[in-house]
A = this chain, B = another copy of it.
Amino acid sequence: MSKYAKLFQLIEKAETITIFSHIFPDGDAIGSLVGLKETIKASFPNKSVFALGTNVDEFVPLVGKLDVVSDEVIASSFAIIVDVANKDRVEDQRYLLAKSTFLIDHHLFVETFTNETIIDNDKVATCEIIAEFIENENLNISPLGATALLLGILTDSGRYLYNPTGAQTLHLSAQLIKKGADLSKINYELSKKDINKVRFRGYLLTNFKTKDGVCYIKISQSKLKHFNIDASDMSSYVNHLGNIKGYPCWATFAEDIHGKIYVELRSRNINVNQVALKFGGGGHLCASGCRLESFKDVPKVINELIKAIKETKA
């Protein structure tokens, strides 16, 4: 039996289904939660389905609020966890109460913590997996659910920019629009910007420095405070310094409230992970991070990045 047929069968058997995702839910988490709930509701109208989670205010205009349920409901349910690789990152640990559990995820495998799984690293978003499930099993979905799934695909793929975006990503997106996904509304909600954050971007683009192929910026805590930005938010800003011709690496060094430095390292084809590892951090080949005790160590990191660039060229 295919993995999708198995999931279909387990949903068919359950009366109550609860859906969980990760802490600090992003577009793919909330998209998967709401998209899967709307799929099950539209395909099996007699089942009780609950999508659980918090802190999704930003996405409420697009997909509505999430559900709140009692321990008893979870205990009587088939729990589906979406878009999570580590059990500790499941936001609501009450998933452990459920009768049985199923994971749908697109991250690299970390650990087994559910009875069954669909893990597919060839998908750019968990929402893409759910969209393929809908197509393969010929399921229904509401326009709201289709919008939720398209939201997850757009955010996790960076508008079809990141690998592994492929023909199937675009094909499934087209199918979701045919089922009522409101691309124009998603575009509008995602394009809305906060004036403070725009001015902070201006600060980054005006004050960054360059050295031997590296674009970087040191940002003091007082400057962050001025723009109302958290040092840990740099992962969503570092790429504003990216893909500049002649500068294969880019980095941000942001001072937190304790004086320690959040470091984000990025590149297109240079191994910055090896640099992060040297300073006790880690991540992906071209997107890594670490922490420093103070700004004093910044030149050391820059020098390691320059070394990595030279090694790649050599």
Contacts and interface: CB of A to CB of B under 8 A. Distances in A.
B170 A174 contact: yes
Nearest to A240: B198
Interface residues of A, number: 45
A107 to B, nearest CB: 20
Count copies of this chain in the complex: 2
Interface string A172-213: 011101100001100110011111001101111111101000
A93 B182 CA distance: 42
Nearest to A162: B187
Contact of A174 (B174, B193, B215): B174
Interface string A126-145: 00000000000000000000
Interface stretch (A115-123, A242-250, A299-307): A242-250
A165 B193 contact: no
Contact of A160 (B183, B199, B203, B245): B183
A163 interface: yes
A109 to B, nearest CB: 24
B246 A191 contact: no
B195 A246 contact: yes
A166 interface: yes
A13 interface: no
A296 interface: no
A177 B173 contact: no
B174 A187 contact: no
19 contacts: A161-B187, A161-B191, A165-B183, A166-B177, A166-B183, A168-B174, A170-B170, A170-B177, A191-B242, A194-B245, A195-B210, A195-B247, A198-B205, A199-B206, A201-B202, A201-B205, A202-B204, A202-B205, A202-B208
Q: What 5 A-B pairs have minimum CB-CB distances, sorted nearest first?
A: A202-B205, A202-B206, A167-B177, A170-B174, A171-B174
